[in-house]
Amino acid sequence: MNQREAFLKIFDKGVSYDKYAELTSNDKIKDRMQKHSEATEKIIKSMDQDKLKRLNEKMKVLCIGENWCGDCTNAIPVLSKLADSMENWEFAIAPKAPFEKELNLFY
How high is the pLDDT of residue 5? Answer: 96
CA angle, corner 51, sides to 47 and 57, nearest 5? 120
Query: Residue 7: what pLDDT?
Result: 97
- Strand blocks (E) in the chain: 59-64, 89-94
Q: How far apart are CA 47 and CA 103, in angstroms?
A: 34
Is the pLDDT reported for residue 49 higher than 90?
no
Write down the pLDDT at residue 53.
87
The pLDDT score that the predictor gives to residue 79 is 94
Radius of gyration, alpha carbons of the chain:
15
Mean pLDDT across the stretch 33-55?
Answer: 91
Q: What is the pTM of this model?
A: 0.86
Q: How confident is the model over 58-93, as pLDDT tens digits?
A: 999 999 998 888 899 899 999 999 999 999 999 999
Residue 95 gets the label, from left (phi > 0), alpha (psi -120 to 50) or beta, of: beta
